[in-house]
Amino acid sequence: MKPFSFLLLPAVMWFIHPLKHSQNQDFSTLRTDTIHFPGESHFQHVEQLTFGGDNAEAYFSFDGKYLIFQKTNPKEGINCDQIWMGKLPQKSGEVFTPKLVSTGTGRTTCAYFYPDGKHILYGSTHLGSVDCPPLADRSKYGNKYIWSIYENFDIFKADTNGNIVKRLTNTKGYDAEATFSPKGDKILFTSMRDGDLDLYIMDPEGGHVKRITHTLGYDGGAWFSPDGKKIIWRASRPTTPEEIKEYKDLLAGNLVAPTHMEVWIANADGSDAKQVTNLSQANWAPNFTPDGNHFIFCSNHEYKRGFPFNMYIADLGGSNVQKISRDKGFDAFPMFSADGKKFVFCSNRNNGGTRDTNIFIADWVK
């Protein structure tokens, strides 16, 4: 989300607040606050970790002991997405107390841990400007959901104290949405360096960059399978002359309209790519289950009005789709711990009728 992560919805966050953009909506009437809804049979011992603001794209460290995520909360003086990291509570009474690990300047997105647990990577615009870049002016596009793909986004390696160790990308245009292979030998990310939003791989220090998708449209939010042999991601595929023109026109202005996306799976080198959802609307934030035989994703396909967003699980071919979350607003950014015992996600649930998105963790029940 990854964003497009401005999501949310990374999210960007995009789709993080699909409800935020609806006009004259009484959000307090849409849900009853709870951290665990009836019908969420795969979740047990659900715990809320953050309280207030936009908290999203929370991902486990390789050892499962830490989370890294992006956060915006104007009430705390955090006016633009920044990266935070915290140790997960190990016993009752412990509090999740994350710390800032990005520069605190520009806009950041899509953080992930290095396998050594001592370093992180994330996308940031801070070298372009210390200021928070403006959001896209949706009024110019009929208030359609538009996301800015800031050309100053590059991917950085930092230590867990927030000190930048290395700039991993240095090309004109958007570079972000990076994740690691299970062995830690490859980084998978999205870039616009060749004129379209495609997937690329590189080594942990930014070398040996290779493009692995070549079809017109946005490709992003990609993850490796647990054995490292496959990848899963979200993609838009404009096909009609009108769709292609709109996509290219927006892209020329460093913009994209991510309202129709489907989930794709391919070999780790990008070969044998297959679309595995065909649900219409926005299907995104996919990830593999620890057994590698299923995938989980976020979607609004049940709701023609565009929300709620809930999470679903399906077989690798896209069959046997099962709804696993029930918030009336937004559930997304799912990730399993490596041992498959824990499950982390971000949700509008239990926010007191506000627009806050928080991080939740649960035991996963098969």
Average pLDDT over residues 33-48: 95
Mean of the pLDDT values across residues 27-44?
Answer: 77
Distance CA 144, CA 139 (A): 8
Instruction: Give the angle subtended at the CA of 134 by the CAs of 194 and 101, to the nearest 5°.
Output: 80
Which residues lie below 8 Å from residue 73, measured CB to CB, with a gap of 6+? 52, 53, 54
Handedness of CA 191, 217, 22, 361 (dihedral sign): negative
pLDDT band at residue 32 using 50, 70 and 90 as cut-offs: low
Phi-psi region of 353 (alpha: psi -120 to 50; beta: other; left: phi over 0): left
Nearest-angstrom CA–CA distance, 133 and 126: 10
Q: Is the pLDDT assigned to residue 169 strictly greater than 90?
A: yes
Position 304 pLDDT exceeds 90: no
Cα(308)–Cα(207) distance, rounded to whole angstroms?
40
> In this predicted model, what pLDDT tens digit does every residue of 101-112 receive, in sequence order?
999 999 999 999
- pLDDT at 15 (0 to 100): 41
User: Considering only CA atoms, which of 176, 246, 189, 188 is closest in space to residue 217?
Assistant: 246
Q: What is the pTM of this model?
A: 0.92
Is pLDDT of 168 > 80?
Answer: yes
Residue 1 binned pLDDT confidence (cut-offs 50, 70, 90): very low
- Predicted confidence at residue 21, as pLDDT, reads 29
Q: Which residue has the higher pLDDT, 337 or 13?
A: 337
Task: Give the mean pLDDT of 124-140.
Answer: 93
pLDDT at 11: 35
Q: Return the pLDDT at 40.
A: 98
| Three-class DSSP category at 185 | coil
The pLDDT value given to residue 25: 33
Split at pLDDT 50, 70, 90, the class of 30 is very low
Per-residue pLDDT at 57 exceeds 80? yes
Residue whose token pair is 């926005």: 282
Which pLDDT tens digit goes with each residue over 196-254?
999 999 999 999 999 999 999 999 999 999 999 999 999 999 999 999 999 999 999 99
Q: Which residue has the higher pLDDT, 7 or 145?
A: 145
Domains of the chain: 19-364 (2.120.10.30)
